[in-house]
Amino acid sequence: SLTASKPVHRSRMFPTMPGVEHVPYPNPYRNPWHVDGYEEPDELVSRVIEYIEDYLFNHYVPPEEVAAFIAEPIQGEGGYVVPPKNFFKELKKLADKHGILIIDDEVQMGMGRTGKMFAIEHFGIAPDIISLAKALGGGVPIGATVFRKELDFGVPGVHSNTYGGNALACVAALTVINELENGLIENAKKLEPIFKERLQEMYDKYEIIGDVRGLGLAWAIEFVKDRKTKEYASKERNQIVVEALKRGLATLGCGKSALRLIPPLTIDEEEVKIGLDILEEAIKTVLG
């Protein structure tokens, strides 16, 4: 019901749970209003907030019936989209106005990936609830829901589960947190400029690249057939993934035609440069 990154994830799952409504993510590169969010970030943010207030609240669901806004601080499967800096502050104002909670999905972008423990820290708000998983266990399966104390259940046992509190998984998570705080978060922040500079150079050289975006060690390249029309270059993106893998670089697509670059937080500067060299070689090969 919450998934909105790819139709295939919802295929054969209908009808989904009622009461879940989706709002366009403030994607600076692609959005329903055709606003250039890099040039006019405030305008893009206004369009999204207005959509919630003018369309959803005024025509579909009264705000007092809304339990929470759920969002990724940086969109994951949808394309590694970094929203305008002030989006979450404006969303928080709207939420506070109506007594609505903000749930921050950090499953992909949390745990040091963006150069901060939680990606939402880049945007200047404190959410009410945080969802964690994936990197939290460093390979050991674990998920966690973190929330403000006053949101806890009033009666013990109201919300229970069979596998919660697995001792091995919890020890793994504590070890991961310790390692993150002992230099890995700082490493992600330190290597960000290398990605930013090198990917910008690729953008300047190859017309097939429509957009590059990211923070820390979470980056994406969006491939297009034409920069003006922004037509998706999904086939070419998939070919680049294959060519990179042939050369020893594992990458993964996201969105319709974007490619995510998410190296381990233990990576060093030399390894980053090697990986980006391989990626550029793969792009050159596909372009012929």
For 134-166, what is each residue's pLDDT tens digit? 999 999 999 999 999 999 988 988 888 888 889
Kindly report, residue by residue over 73-87, the tens digit of the pLDDT.
Answer: 999 999 999 999 999
Q: Give the whole-angstrom CA distance, residue 122 versus residue 72.
A: 12
Would you state the pLDDT for residue 13? 85
Which CATH entry fits the domain spanning 191-287: 3.30.450.20, 3.40.50.150, 3.90.1150.10, 3.40.50.1010? 3.90.1150.10
pLDDT at position 7 is 81
Nearest CA to 219 among 244, 191, 240, 245? 191
Strand partners, 130: 104, 146
User: Which overall architecture, per CATH, does domain 7-179 show?
Assistant: 3-Layer(aba) Sandwich (3.40)
173-181: long-range pairs with CB below 8 Å, 24+: 173/136, 173/137, 173/138, 173/140, 173/142, 173/144, 175/138, 176/111, 176/135, 176/136, 176/137, 176/138, 177/111, 179/138, 180/111, 180/112, 180/117, 180/265
Helices (H), 182-258: 185-205, 234-246
Report pTM: 0.94
Domain assignments of the chain as residue spans, ordered by start? 7-179, 191-287
pLDDT by residue for the chain (288 residues), tens digit each?
Answer: 888 877 888 888 888 888 899 999 999 999 999 999 999 999 999 999 999 999 999 999 999 999 999 999 999 999 999 999 999 999 999 999 999 999 999 999 999 999 999 999 999 999 999 999 999 999 999 999 999 999 998 898 888 888 888 999 999 999 999 999 999 999 999 999 999 999 999 999 999 999 999 999 999 999 999 999 999 999 999 999 999 999 999 999 999 999 999 999 999 999 999 999 999 999 999 999
Minimal CA–CA distance to 226: which of 199, 253, 208? 208
Q: What pLDDT is stored for residue 110 in this prediction?
A: 98
Q: Please report the pLDDT score of residue 187 as a whole number.
A: 98
Spatial separation of the C-alpha atoms in residues 283 and 76, rounded to whole Å: 22
In three-state secondary structure terms, 130 is: strand
* 70-102 exposure pattern, b = at least 16 Cβ within 10 A, e = fewer: bbbbbbbbbbbbbbbeebbebbbebbeeeebbb
